[in-house]
Structure 1
Amino acid sequence: MWEVHSSDKIRIKDIAERSGVSVGTVDRVLHNRPNVSGKARAKVEAVLKEINYQPNMYASALAYNRKYTFCCLLPDHDRNAYWTNVEKGLQQCILNRGDFHLSLITEYYDQFEGSSFAVAAERIWDKKPDGVVIVPQNFDVTQAFCRRLQEQDIPFVFLDSNVPEIEPLAFFGQDSLKSGYFAGRIFMMQAGEHARRILLMKLMSKGRVASRQQEYREVGFREYMTTYYPDCEVVELSLQLDGEDGYESRIRTFLDEHPDVRHCITFCSRAYILGEYFQRNGLKDFHLFGYDMVERNVECLKQGTIDFLIAQHPWKQGYNSVKALFNHIVLKKAIQQCNYMPLELLTAENYIYYTADEK
C-alpha cells in the first residue's frame, strides 16, 4: 500500500517507480507530449488517478518562461469616464502577475463609428495577441473580428456587454435587462404611484446610444414600467454626446415644457449632466437616478442632486477579464463563461464604503 498525505510532495521519480516506467515517460504524459505508448500512458494515468495528482500549473508556467501578449479593445474615453476604472483593473491584473512575462496593449475605438472598431481591431492583429479583451460594438463588426480570433484559436473575453451567440471564453458585466428592471423598481419606489410623467435622459451620437448595455437597461426599465405603471408617461430628453456646450439650454427648454416632471433617470454614466444643472440653478425639488461611480456623479451624490447610483464594479470587470485569459492560457484552468456583476445601489450615506479598486 502506498499512502499519500496532503503534506507529501509527489515527485516525478515516485510516479515513475509506481508506474514501472521511466521518469522521461512520466514527464511526457504530464505535459501531454507525443512518443508515449498507449500501454505506458495508461499505467501513468492510473497512478495519477490513484494519488489524485494535481499538477502545479503555476510553477510549470513560471518554469516555461514564455512571454504572453494580451490586448484590449476599449472605447475611447476621457479621464472622468466609467472606462477609466475598467482600464485600471486591466492594468492592475497584469502588475499583480509580475513573475510572468505578461504585457497588455490597449487599442481604442469610437463607440459610434463601426469603421473605428474595425480599424482598432486590425491594429490588434499586428500585435500577435495570445488573448483579447473586447468591449463589443455592434453585432456585425464584433462578430467579424471574433470569427478571425476563433479561426486562429485566440481566446477572447467580453467586458461590459455580452453577445453570447458569438461564444466568448467569458463575459464580465451586469445582467443589463435585470439591471434596468431593478432600476425601475427602486426609481418608482421614490417617485410614487401618483407620478404621471418622468424624464429619461439619453446621450446620443449619430442617432443611437453608446452601448448595447444601455439599450438593454432601457428595455428592462420599460418592461417594469409597462407592467406596474402603465399610466406613467416616460418622456425622453436626448442630448448629443459631443455637444456639451448646448446642454444648458436644451435642459432648460425641456423642463420649461414639462413643468410637472420632478423625477429623472438615465442609464449612462453621466447623470452628472442633470445633477450639475440642478446644482447650478439651485433646483432642489428634483430627484435623479443614474449609473456608475465616476467622480462627477459622486460629487452630485454628495451634494444631493443625485439620489441613487447603480454601480457595477468596473475595476473588477477589467481585472477579472485579464485574470480569465491568464488562467485559461497560462494556467490551463477551466473558466466560467458568464460572470454577472452585483447590482450595487449607492446613496450619499453608503457610497464611501464602495471600493472601486477592489483587489
Structure 2
Amino acid sequence: MAERIRIKDIAERAGVSVGTVDRVLHDRPNVSKPAREKVEQALKEMNYQPNMYASALAYNKAYTFYLLIPKHESEAYWEEIEEGARKCEDQRRDFHIDVEIRFFERSNEDSFKAVSQEILDANPEGVIIVPSSLEVTRGFTDQLHQKGIPFILLDSYMPDLRPLSFYGQDSFCSGYFAAKMLMMLAGNEKEVMLMRQTKDGHVVSKQQDNREVGFRHYMHDHFPQIVINVLDLPLNGTRNEYQKMLGQYFDEHPATHHCITMTSKAHIVGDYLLKSNRRDVQIMGYDMVDKNAKCLREGSISFLIAQHAYMQGYYCVDTLFRAIVLKKKVNPVNYMPIELLMKENIDFYRRTQI
C-alpha cells in the first residue's frame, strides 16, 4: 500500500509553510508565484495524488443538477431514466447532490423553450438534456455555455452543441442491426411494415429518425427488392385510433407478416395482433418496458432491442458528479450496448443493476 503523503511532508519538501501548501492544493489566492512553483514542483516529485472524494466532502457544497426529459406514460422508457438518475442521487447524497427533473412536451418546441428557460433561471451546476430539434436545443445550450454550466446530452447525440458528454445508443448502427435481425426472419417476404409515431407527418425524435436511416441503409444494400410500407401513427393518438388504423392497414396489406418500429411502442401493434388473433404477423421494436415485455412473452413481438435506460439515467448524473464535484475528466461519447431480447432470455435481463 502506498504511503500517505501529508501536507507537512509537501511543505518540508518545498520549503514553504503548511498554510501555503493548503492554499495551493485548494487553488486559493494569496500565494506568490515562486511559492506556488515550489509547491507544484514538490507535488510532481512526490507523485502526489489528491483524495478528491475527501476534498469534496470537506468542501460541503450543495450541487443541483437538472434532468430535462419528455413527458411520458408511467410505463415508458423515460421512467427508467428517472429511476437511474434517482439511484445515483441517492448514492451520492453525502455530497449534497440534488437532481431536479423537469418535463417538456416532445412534440411542442415552445414547451421545451419554456422549461429550459426555467432551468436557466435556476442557475444549476449541471444539466442533462434530452434534445428537441437541433436549433431549439442550440438556443438552450448556447446559453448554458455562456453561463459556464456543463451539460450532458441523453438519447440523441448532437456533437455541434459541444456537450460535456453523451449517453445513448449509436442510432444508425442500432437501426442497421435491427434490420439485419429482422431479415433473419423476413428475408423471403415481399414487404414489411415500418410503424412510426409522428406529428403532422414528421418524426419528432432525432434518435428514431437516425435509426430509420440505418435500417433503410441495410435494406437498400441487402434486400432492395422488399417493399417497406410506412404506417404513421399520431404521436398522441388514442387506442381506438390505433386499432382502427392498424386494422385498415392489414386489410389493405394481407402480405405483410413482419413489422418493425424504431420506438418503444411496439406494443401498440403487439396488442392489436393479440386482440385480432393474428398469429401470422410478428413485430420487432425497442426497449424492455412492461407492455413490450408482455407482448414478447405472449408471442406478438419477436425481438426487442434494449439499451439500458436505467443505466443511462444513472451514468448521466454520475458523470456530472465526477466532472463538477470531483473535477475529473469524463468520456465525451458513451454508447450504450445494443442488446437483443427474445422470449427465451427476457427474464434474465437486468435493467436495474449498476
TM-score range, shorter chain: over 0.9
**In the alignment, what sits opposite 2:236?**
242
Q: 1:156 pairs with 142, 151, 154, which one? A: 151
Q: 1:31 pairs with 22, 26, 49, which one? A: 26
Q: Which moved more, 1:94-103 or 1:31-40?
A: 31-40
* Counterpart secondary structure, 2:202: coil
Q: 1:230 pairs with 208, 217, 224, which one? A: 224
* Counterpart secondary structure, 1:99: helix
Matched, 1:301 2:296: yes
Give the distance between the partners of 1:166 and 1:241, measured in 2 at CA: 27
Shift of 1:34: 2.4
Give the distance between the partners of 2:263 and 2:67, measured in 1 at CA: 22
**In the alignment, what sits opposite 1:211?**
205
1:237-264 deviation per Cα after TM superposition (whole angstroms, max 9, x unaligned): 1111222221111111110111111010
1:255-280 deviation per Cα after TM superposition (whole angstroms, max 9, x unaligned): 01111110100000000011111111
Q: How does 1:31-50 map to 2 (within 5 A)?
A: 31-50=26-45
1:256-305 deviation per Cα after TM superposition (whole angstroms, max 9, x unaligned): 11111101000000000111111111111111110000100000011011
Matched, 1:172 2:197: no
Letter in 1 for 2:306: A
* Counterpart secondary structure, 2:301: coil
**In the alignment, what sits opposite 2:94?**
99
CA contact 2:201–2:232 (8 Å) conserved in 1: no
Shift of 1:126: 2.9
Matched, 1:284 2:299: no
Give the distance between the partners of 2:171 and 2:278, measured in 1 at CA: 31
Shift of 1:29: 1.4
Give the distance between the partners of 1:314 and 1:228, measured in 2 at CA: 31
Matched, 1:185 2:180: yes
Letter in 2 for 1:21: V
* Counterpart secondary structure, 1:283: coil
* Counterpart secondary structure, 1:309: strand
* Counterpart secondary structure, 1:307: strand
**In the alignment, what sits opposite 2:72?**
77
Matched, 1:108 2:103: yes
Shift of 1:8: 1.6
TM-score (norm 1): 0.96
Letter in 2 for 1:349: E
Give the distance between the partners of 2:200 and 2:84, measured in 1 at CA: 30
Q: 1:349 pairs with 344, 347, 354, which one? A: 344
1:100-151 deviation per Cα after TM superposition (whole angstroms, max 9, x unaligned): 1111111110111110100010111232211000000101110000000000
* Counterpart secondary structure, 1:335: coil
Shift of 1:157: 0.3
Matched, 1:202 2:226: no
CA contact 1:107–1:123 (8 Å) conserved in 2: no
Shift of 1:328: 0.6
CA contact 1:198–1:232 (8 Å) conserved in 2: yes
Letter in 2 for 1:10: I
**In the alignment, what sits opposite 1:3?**
none
* Counterpart secondary structure, 1:49: helix
Q: Kindly, what percent of the aligned residue pairs are identical?
A: 49
Give the distance between the partners of 1:358 and 1:124, measured in 2 at CA: 30
**In the alignment, what sits opposite 2:353?**
358
Q: 1:125 pairs with 120, 126, 132, which one? A: 120
Matched, 1:315 2:294: no
Matched length? 353
* Counterpart secondary structure, 2:94: coil
Give the distance between the partners of 2:119 and 2:216, measured in 1 at CA: 38
Unaligned runs of 5+ in 1: 1-5
Question: Once superposed, which parts of structure 1, at least 4 consecutive aligned residues long, lie more than 3 Å away?
Answer: none
Shift of 1:177: 0.3
1:141-189 deviation per Cα after TM superposition (whole angstroms, max 9, x unaligned): 1000000000010000000111001100000000000000011111101
Letter in 2 for 1:264: C
CA contact 1:180–1:216 (8 Å) conserved in 2: yes
CA contact 2:120–2:144 (8 Å) conserved in 1: no
Matched, 1:324 2:319: yes
* Counterpart secondary structure, 1:268: coil
CA contact 1:301–1:347 (8 Å) conserved in 2: yes
**In the alignment, what sits opposite 2:129?**
134
Q: Which moved more, 1:330-339 or 1:204-213?
A: 204-213
* Counterpart secondary structure, 1:8: coil
1:5-27 deviation per Cα after TM superposition (whole angstroms, max 9, x unaligned): x4322110111011111111111
Shift of 1:196: 1.3
Shift of 1:206: 2.8
**In the alignment, what sits opposite 1:88?**
83
Give the distance between the partners of 2:284 and 2:201, measured in 1 at CA: 23
Letter in 2 for 1:176: S
